Amino acid sequence: MRAVLAIVLAIATGGGCAQFLSSPLDENPLQIEKLTEAQKLQQDGRFAEALETYKKIMQEVPGSESAATAKFGTALILVSADNSRRDYAQAIVVFEEFASQFPKHRRAPEARSWRTLLKTALDSKKENERLNKNIEMLKQLDLKQEEKRLGR
């Protein structure tokens, strides 16, 4: 499961950030400049700074194409394999917000797919932890049974 998730994440985030920046003619050049800056920071692995820049864009021009691109960029940072502070649970929230706020955006289906993939991965992780706990309990039980059998 981890290998599949890592491959999907690498493909999705490795394609480059510039792909998701569209610059419609009605977009504010200053916002496009800020998006370009945030994407460069993201590519350089300066995730905290990129997140801060994306946050400012979303606050300054909510509901715009720039805000949509910033929201999606934020979610991609949260799932980036290169980000030591990646947070899949928070990424799910951001992808859900993106899909809800921008349901007709060209990347909305991708956001829904990411959300589903991440939920599946987190659910699998929880299930694995539960099963490992059960295995440990069974090992302890087995040891106790073996001790009784040997009369210890």
The rounded radius of gyration (Å) of the Cα atoms in the chain is 21
Element housing 149 (H / E): helix 108-150
pTM above 0.85, yes or no: no
State how far the Cα of 46 lies from the Cα of 27, in Å rounded to an integer.
Answer: 25
68 pLDDT higher than 50:
yes
10 pLDDT higher than 60:
no
pLDDT at 24: 46
Which residues are CB-contacts of 108 (< 8 A; sequence separation ≥ 6)?
A: 98, 99, 102
Q: Which domains does the chain have, with CATH numbers?
A: 2-150 (1.25.40)
Q: What number of other Cβ atoms are within 10 A of residue 78's Cβ?
A: 23
Local confidence band at 41 (pLDDT 50, 70, 90 cut-offs): very high
pLDDT at 18: 40
Among the listed residues 17, 32, 3, 122, the one whose alpha carbon sits nearest the alpha carbon of residue 76: 17
pLDDT at 1: 53
For residue 111, with 0-12 CB atoms within 10 Å meaning exposed, 13-18 middle and 19 or more buried, which class applies? Answer: buried
62 pLDDT higher than 70:
yes
Q: What number of other Cβ atoms are within 10 A of residue 125's Cβ?
A: 14
